Amino acid sequence: MKSIYVKGENPDLIWLVGALLKHHNPDVLLGNTVTTQQLSFGAKEALSEFGLSRNLSFSHNDVNEEECDIILHLTHGRSSEQEGKQRQQTLFWQLDLEDADTSFNPYRKALYELNCKVRDLLAEPQHIEPITPMAFYKAMSDELRLKTLLLILQEQELCVCELMVALDEPSQPKVSRHLAQLRKAGILTIRKQSQWVYYALNTELPGWMQQVLQRTLLGEPAIIEQELARLDLMGDRPARQQSCCA
């Protein structure tokens, strides 16, 4: 069981994180110095819309800062991680509330972004079965999956929308389904950055499997020539995100 102490300058964000932590894992030991009386109307409204208003009724003081496993510091700087005192892990999460007109509640977007971070934080490491030759060759038996692997090999990593454009495939569920199959087989891994999810080849992929993909791409580069041309038209990141992933 993890024990987490949340701190920062904005009491609203501290409480949003606490509510999400308790929502995803009621058994987590949580601590902070914020009371519900300090919450703004916008924060309470966002929690209510997400069905988390019940989390306003309990204390978030299960553990002291000195006793916790993780210190979570909400900042306006870049997200980072470092070792704290007494073997504590200290995480710095950046989250800037957007200035907007009064009709927009910035805590809605903040709650969504924090939810992604909290889920990653609480996720337990999963045991991945060794990749079998049967699963590897079965993955390449489909044209879309084969081209997906070769594109990712060429580009290092790609997100769903980039693959949709490159493959000229308008169905996002179809692309996501094939990516899920490749992840389940242990061939692909993911990297999350804010709301984006990027897919890359598993670094634990056996050498001979990597060589099969590399030799396929070197021997038949035309197989993804059109796909790479479509990808080039998207420009470089972050232009790709603005034109496709937003």
- Kindly report, residue by residue over 150-176, the tens digit of the pLDDT: 999 999 899 898 999 999 998 888 999
Q: What is the pLDDT of residue 89?
A: 78
Whole-structure pTM value: 0.51
Q: What are all long-range contacts of 46-53, with beta carbons under 8 Å and residues at least 24 apart? A: 46/16, 46/105, 46/107, 46/108, 46/110, 46/111, 47/15, 47/16, 47/19, 47/111, 49/108, 50/111, 50/115, 52/19, 52/20, 52/23, 52/111
Q: Are strands 188-193 and 196-201 parallel, antiparallel or unpaired?
A: antiparallel
Query: What mean pLDDT, rounded, does the chain reach?
Result: 80
CB-count burial class (<10 Å; 0-12, 13-18, 19+) for 36: middle
User: Does position 128 have pLDDT exceeding 70, yes or no?
Assistant: no
- Which domains does the chain possess? 3-122 (3.40.50.2300), 133-245 (1.10.10.10)
Token duo for residue 96: 């800037």
Mean pLDDT of 43-51: 83
One-letter amino acid identity for 204?
A: E
Confidence of residue 227 (pLDDT cuts 50, 70, 90): very high
Q: Tell me the pLDDT tens digit for each residue of 178-220.
A: 999 999 899 999 887 666 788 999 888 899 999 999 999 999 9
Find tokens 């990027």 and name the residue.
Answer: 198
Mean pLDDT of 137-141: 91
Mean pLDDT of 77-84: 46
